[in-house]
Amino acid sequence: MKRVLMFLPMVLVIAVGVILFAGIGKDPSRLESALIGKPVPSFSLTDLRQPEQQLGPELFQGQVSLLNVWGTWCPACRDEHDDLLWLAREKGVRIVGLNYKDNREGALKWLSDLGDPYAINVYDPRGSLGFDLGVYGAPETYFIDAEGIVRYRHVGVINEKVWDAEFQPLMEQYGGSS
């Protein structure tokens, strides 16, 4: 009995060590979306390019899309812009933009200056769709399947490494074009 108790501190230390070690390298600021497995929330917002055009969640029906949350006020969005262009042009990925808490003129200028990787852009100046999606900091990128169900969210800049590790497997699973 006594002998067994002698080992108790060591067992405790090892257990704590294992638990703490498992946490190393995890980024606590990246949260899993609460919308995984749920449809894109309903919305009625205008097209960034055509202010008279109303857009809704049926935008995501029929094909796999990425929903990329961006704004001209967001420096990291500038960082990932070239990677989005690469995805759209080289990989043929359909990227739907969510222009988040931005202004129309600035956003259109950004797209004409830097190139436009988006198939279509939802204009959300008040951030209402962003709020319903649980966006807490741009850029964020959602993977949405052909039924309009949210399957994955990436918080932060998207690049080739992130694409290969996180999105490529989803593309294969849900039958994307690449």
Cα dist from 153 to 32, 69, 108, 146, whole Å: 7, 11, 25, 16
Does residue 65 touch another protein according to CB under 8 A?
A: no
Largest CA-CA distance found in the chain, in angstroms, rounded: 80
Q: How many residues bind another protein (CB under 8 A)?
A: 16
Q: How many CB atoms lie within 10 A of CB 22?
A: 9
Does residue 131 touch another protein according to CB under 8 A?
A: yes
Stretch that binds another protein, among 43-51, 114-122, 129-137, 166-174 (CB under 8 A): 129-137
Does residue 127 touch another protein according to CB under 8 A?
A: yes
Does residue 28 touch another protein according to CB under 8 A?
A: yes
Does residue 125 touch another protein according to CB under 8 A?
A: no
CB of 133 to another protein, least distance (A): 7
Does residue 137 touch another protein according to CB under 8 A?
A: yes
Among 11, 12, 31, 165, binds another protein (CB under 8 A): 31
Helix (H) / strand (E) containing 131? helix 128-133
Does residue 136 touch another protein according to CB under 8 A?
A: yes
CB of 12 to another protein, least distance (A): 12
| Binding footprint of another protein on the chain (CB under 8 A) | 28-29, 31-35, 101, 127, 131-137
